[in-house]
A and B are shown apart, each in its own frame.
Chain A
Amino acid sequence: MPVVLAHRPMLAVLVSLLAAVAILFSDRRPNLRETWSFLAAAITSALVFSLLPEVLQHGSLEATYIELLPGLALHLRADLFGMIFALLASVLWLVTTLYSIGYMRHGHYDHQTGYFACFAVCVSAAVGIAFSANLLTFFIFYEILTIATYPLVTHDRHDEALGGGRRYLAYTLGSGQMLFIAVISISLIAPGASFQPGGFLAGHASSGLLTLLFIFAILGISVKAAIMPLHGWLPTAMVAPTPVSALLHAVAVVKAGVFGCIRIVHYVFGIDVLHAIGADTALALLASATILVASIRALGEQNLKRRLAYSTISQLSYIVLGAAIGTPAALAGAMFHIVAHGFMKITLFFCAGAIYVKTHKVEIPDLGGLGRQMPITFGAFTIGALGLAGTPLCVGFISKWNLGLGALQGGHPLFLIVLVVSGLLNFAYFFPIVYRAFFGNAEHTFAFDEAPVTVSLPLVLTAVVSVLLGVYPNFGASTYDLAWQAAERVLASAASAGAAGGF
């Protein structure tokens, strides 16, 4: 396939980076500062969308820049799978910017300039991760993301925030070094290789070495992907303001983790290589355990954001599980779940933030009757919760259906059971919240009193998109097609590579 040159991926990365600088220098003019955020988010989204028709047509567009190490350049490529994450990150940035302005101004938060600047850097890094064409470029943006989220996690400056920040750094920097070992070793084994559908490591090393490398690579990404037992940072990072939690959970950090997981499994190693060393089953079992244990932990959490955090841990492992099963339907489901979970979980976090802005309540038992006061917010919350549980007509159903189908196709009914049980647990930990909000505290009457429109509009938007994507999965950006095409290309390449390797 001929290489199609495009500099727009790089532009998309640079626009948000420059926006961060502009934001820093507009410290004393909040309206100008927020204009930068909006402008950059709009331009980034436009750039990413403009790539979509060509990516669907050619499969990928790319450009290489400065050589950073022998044979390894700063190499960006917009491919089918990368587009999914880039679209998600840029669109949700736009929505979150609006929400952040309402939330931060309404809550009279300090240090908003640093907040919006770091936010822009995070999105720049997320888009960079999405468009990275080799492991080195991926690693660079992955570490930038780590550093840029640290000030966001510690935004409130109190001791709990500092502690959460330290814990966040300990986990992410530690795992970053594990990833570094994997990246440098892989670059020695296969010099100058870029991501390839179906992987490029087949035949490059002994199975023992490959196992070791895979362990390091998975250790490297599993912190951000919050695979148990390396999930500990996520609930503690909930001390951050809610838009940050939304960003961490739905858009950038954890999605960078699972995105990296799919990249490593299917674009570096290849499912056949992993199957030969038994790593696919191990990863799938780990993911299943995470799904179930995190769901059960979520049941026991009484703090709304912490319950959402455990729900995130569980949902992320859906994606890891789909990658590990490695049939076309499962992989497409996993890729699509990046988008699906993004919209559903950001809706839930937006709701949690709206509740906090309006009532300063964070504990689930205190939410009784609030649904009658804030019906829009809790309506959106209900949609998000139903979607995460996998109810038909919500976007979560589409990805879950494909994941389940893929599990059966691969001959692993066990994983289908895991998904079903997890769906039930989702109902179990979300439904009491919804019920309590609408029907609890019955003796008390609540007047309609919604959060400000800058806060409630974004959450309505994301909730509506969650439903639209459930009815029409290609809504807006053909993400469902992208996911299926990417999955089929990956597994077709893997199959042909396996056939060629067989002789």
Chain B
Amino acid sequence: MSQHVPVLIVIIPLVAALFVPLIALRTMAWARALTFLALLGVVACSGAALTRALATGPLHYELGGWAPPWGIVYVLDPLSGGMALLIGIVAALVAVYTQPYLKSWSTSRAGIFLSLFLLLVTGLLGIVVTGDLFNLYVFLEISSLAGYALLASGSIHSAVATFRYLIVGTIAATFYLLGVGYLYALTGSLNMADVAIRLSDIGHSGAFAVAITFIVVGLSIKAALFPLHGWLPDAYTYAPAPVIGFISAVMAKVGAYALFRVLYFVLRPTEAASQVLTGLSWVAAIAILAGSLLAIAQRDVRRMLAYSSISQMGYIFLGLALGTPSALKGALLHVLNHAIMKGCLFLAAGGVQWRTGGYRLEDFIGMSRRMPLTMAAIVLAAISMIGLPPTAGFFSKWYLVQGAIEAHAWVFAAVFIASSLLNAVYFFRLIEWAYLRQPKPQPSLSSPPLYQELPMQMLLPIWVLATSVLLLGLFNQSVVNGIIQYAIQPEGS
């Protein structure tokens, strides 16, 4: 049984996704329980796999018993194990958070929603655990298709916004596929480890440069790297809150993960790659600043957070592009930190919308009194987004700036610093509206209640994430020394 752990990570949510809508037709409660159990299973399996990978080295699972490089292999090293665990935990928390939403929907809608959610999780987990370039494309499409459907499940606006995402996302996937095609033409293999070895033998050509460019562009679109971000704010704006919470927390990160995996484990930093990386670093730096500036321009908190994500994805990409050990540590730590804090922010902001019906800054007036615990979580996560100690965001920023200094990239160090201050502008504006602005005296008789916290099922995930923001800050060394420092070393190098 235990040797099947790598494949179980993907199988469990996939099977659950098939049965959940059927069970939902009979008993909704069972469908919800099955979803949650499946996600707990993912957490348990990925936790076990990560522990084993850290103790005894990476786990390899040959699908159907076909040996690589012909068959598909799943690889669970500290990097993929850690990512799978992160996806599992965030998904389980979001599943809890979704409960009040599910109650307000019809059973067929709720069942399909849960099924799509599990499919999305399956796709993301598949991207993470696979050791095969083409299989990665398959899972990329599974997650994207499930993601389109989920994002479109809000209102009529969300369908239009998602259609745009669908077109852009398909182009992105095609770019990636083209890049993989070039690599296949060059090496005759699709297995990541095998391609890496063959590439080091045959050296680099123009075709290689084309391949790497296609892959980088494709995955950058998926990860919403500025200026390829256009789809993201609209898609986020109209989708249901739990969906944005999950997608913003992990989906873009998985794009970054895939890029990291392909760049550093398959292509390995080489001369052709380094030119692409230099270009990528400048694009990422611009993304950081542009995302923050655009976030300042928003008066809708959800769009503000969406643009903030674009900026924060820039942090991760810049760290990956700089490529020094500190920068890579910072990038991966930021993948984790940003998933936690942005998830917390979106879920908490979704909670405000659940109570007030809106996401505008005006809707946040008086929230510090009405929903003090939710707002406190927002403040904690916001401080972490700005990068103030002792929260998690400070420490990933520390590694990233250290990486920039080590690479003598002073401009990029300055970009991180400047972005911190820009983040402070829009997050403290939100805090000011929520805590300090006085509500206008309402002429209507129905004044909102004084104290109205969220239901426990929504509050608990928010606070698990908020507490993690603090704990991940104080104990970041256990993550960095325990997992990340092994995760940034490609196998056998």
- Residue positions of A touching B, CB distance < 8 A: 66-70, 74, 136, 139-140, 143-144, 146-147, 150-151, 154, 157, 161-162, 165-166, 169, 173-174, 176-177, 180-181, 184-185, 188
In the bound assembly, the distance between CA atoms of A369 and B449 in angstroms comes to: 49
Least Cβ–Cβ distance between A368 and chain B, in angstroms: 36
A-B pairs under 8 A by CB, number: 64
**Contacts A/B (CB < 8 Å), 11 sampled:** A66-B474, A66-B477, A68-B476, A74-B474, A140-B390, A143-B389, A162-B432, A169-B428, A177-B417, A181-B401, A184-B405
Q: Is the CB of A169 within 8 A of B424?
A: yes
> Which residues of B lie under 8 Å from residue A151 when comparing CB positions?
435
Q: Is the CB of B417 within 8 A of A185?
A: no
Q: Is B29 positioned at the interface, with any CB of A under 8 Å from its CB?
A: no
> Which residues of A lie under 8 Å from residue B398 when comparing CB positions?
69, 184
Additional A-B contacts beyond A68-B390, A68-B395, A140-B390 (6; CB < 8 A): A68-B477, A69-B477, A143-B389, A144-B389, A162-B432, A165-B432
Q: A66, A140, A143, A157: which contacts B475 (Cβ < 8 A)?
A: A66
Nearest B residue to A155 via CB reads: B436
Q: A69, A136, A147, A181: which contacts B417 (Cβ < 8 A)?
A: A181
**Interface membership of chain B positions 406-436, coded 1 if the CB is closer than 8 angstroms to chain A and 0 otherwise:** 1000000100010011001000100010011
Q: Is B442 positioned at the interface, with any CB of A under 8 Å from its CB?
A: no
Least Cβ–Cβ distance between A140 and chain B, in angstroms: 4
> Which residues of A lie under 8 Å from residue B420 when comparing CB positions?
173, 177
> Which residues of A lie under 8 Å from residue B428 when comparing CB positions?
150, 166, 169
Q: Is B339 positioned at the interface, with any CB of A under 8 Å from its CB?
A: no
Nearest A residue to B429 via CB reads: A166
Q: Is B213 positioned at the interface, with any CB of A under 8 Å from its CB?
A: no
> Which residues of B lie under 8 Å from residue A181 when comparing CB positions?
401, 413, 417
Q: Is B383 positioned at the interface, with any CB of A under 8 Å from its CB?
A: yes
> Which residues of B lie under 8 Å from residue A154 when comparing CB positions?
432, 436
Q: Is B402 positioned at the interface, with any CB of A under 8 Å from its CB?
A: yes
Q: Is the CB of A177 within 8 A of B438?
A: no
Nearest B residue to A151 via CB reads: B435
**Interface membership of chain B positions 239-277, coded 1 if the CB is closer than 8 angstroms to chain A and 0 otherwise:** 000000000000000000000000000000000000000
> Which residues of B lie under 8 Å from residue A139 when comparing CB positions?
389
Q: Is the CB of A180 within 8 A of B417?
A: yes
Q: Is B294 positioned at the interface, with any CB of A under 8 Å from its CB?
A: no
Q: Which 7 A-B pairs have the closest CB atoms?
A: A140-B389, A177-B417, A67-B477, A143-B388, A140-B390, A173-B424, A157-B436
> Which residues of B lie under 8 Å from residue A66 when comparing CB positions?
474-475, 477
Least Cβ–Cβ distance between A428 and chain B, in angstroms: 38
> Which residues of A lie under 8 Å from residue B402 when comparing CB positions?
184, 188
Least Cβ–Cβ distance between B482 and chain A, in angstroms: 12
> Which residues of B lie under 8 Å from residue A169 when comparing CB positions?
424, 428
Residue from the set A143, A146, A151 with the largest chain B CB neighbour count within 10 Å: A143
In the bound assembly, the distance between CA atoms of A315 and B413 in angstroms comes to: 35
**Interface membership of chain B positions 385-396, coded 1 if the CB is closer than 8 angstroms to chain A and 0 otherwise:** 010111000010
In the bound assembly, the distance between CA atoms of A70 and B417 in angstroms comes to: 21
Nearest A residue to B379 via CB reads: A147
> Which residues of A lie under 8 Å from residue B436 when comparing CB positions?
154, 157, 161-162, 165
**Interface membership of chain B positions 170-200, coded 1 if the CB is closer than 8 angstroms to chain A and 0 otherwise:** 0000000000000000000000000000000
> Which residues of A lie under 8 Å from residue B395 when comparing CB positions?
68-69
In the bound assembly, the distance between CA atoms of A154 and B433 in angstroms comes to: 12
Q: Is the CB of B432 within 8 A of A147?
A: no
In the bound assembly, the distance between CA atoms of A70 and B481 in angstroms comes to: 9
Q: Is the CB of A185 within 8 A of B405?
A: yes
> Which residues of B lie under 8 Å from residue A147 when comparing CB positions?
383, 388
Least Cβ–Cβ distance between B412 and chain A, in angstroms: 13
Least Cβ–Cβ distance between A188 and chain B, in angstroms: 6
